[in-house]
Amino acid sequence: MAMWWFLASEIVIFGGLVFTYLLFLWRYPEWTEEAAHTLTNAGAINTFVLLTSSYFVVLAHDAAHHERYQKAARLLALTVAGGFVFLAVKTYEYSHEIHAGFVPARSVFWSFYYTLTGLHALHVIGGMVAMTVVALAVRKGQNPQRVEYVGIYWHFVDVVWIFLFPLLYLAS
């Protein structure tokens, strides 16, 4: 039950930010020109990475359900690796955009871009930490039900990205 309350609070946070972003986008349609400067290919790669890592979580849940705890821990480790790839691509994007002068102070679009993607990246890091803790316990056969909980959280992180990618990268 606590997991669902936590996710509901996260939905309120991201939902409020996305709704506010959409209101500003409606008021300032010229933002679409700013979105043309995002690295769409990098965003697409990150979408693929997150969706693939979600598949690994599903497989980890299945392995834990069938008491194959070593396999579940390895699959959770692969999911964490996907998180590292996501963060590496995001770091490349940020460095490219900042070097090109697309910083939060440039416009409200870039302020929203860094706020939304930065908050999302923090959630990816949080998911990676939780998944590592669960993987270490599951490897010993402890608390295998937590694989489902971290999986639900990871899917939430994916769903948020599925909303952010078209809003921020494909809006141009």
Model's pTM, two decimal places?
0.92
CA dist., res. 126 & res. 149, Å (int): 13
pLDDT of the residue at 34: 87
Q: What is the tens place of the pLDDT at every residue in 18-60?
A: 999 999 988 888 888 888 899 999 999 999 999 999 999 999 9
pLDDT of the residue at 3: 81
CA dist., res. 77 & res. 83, Å (int): 10
Helix/strand/coil percent split, the chain, to 5: 85, 0, 15
pLDDT of the residue at 133: 97
Residue 4 burial (10 A CB sphere; 0-12, 13-18, 19+): exposed
Phi, psi (deg, nearest 5) at residue 8: -60, -40
Q: Nearest-5° angle of CA 18, CA 21, CA 25?
A: 135
pLDDT of the residue at 33: 87
pLDDT-flagged residues of the chain (< 50): none
Angle between helices 2-27 and 146-168 in degrees, nearest 10: 0
pLDDT of the residue at 172: 67
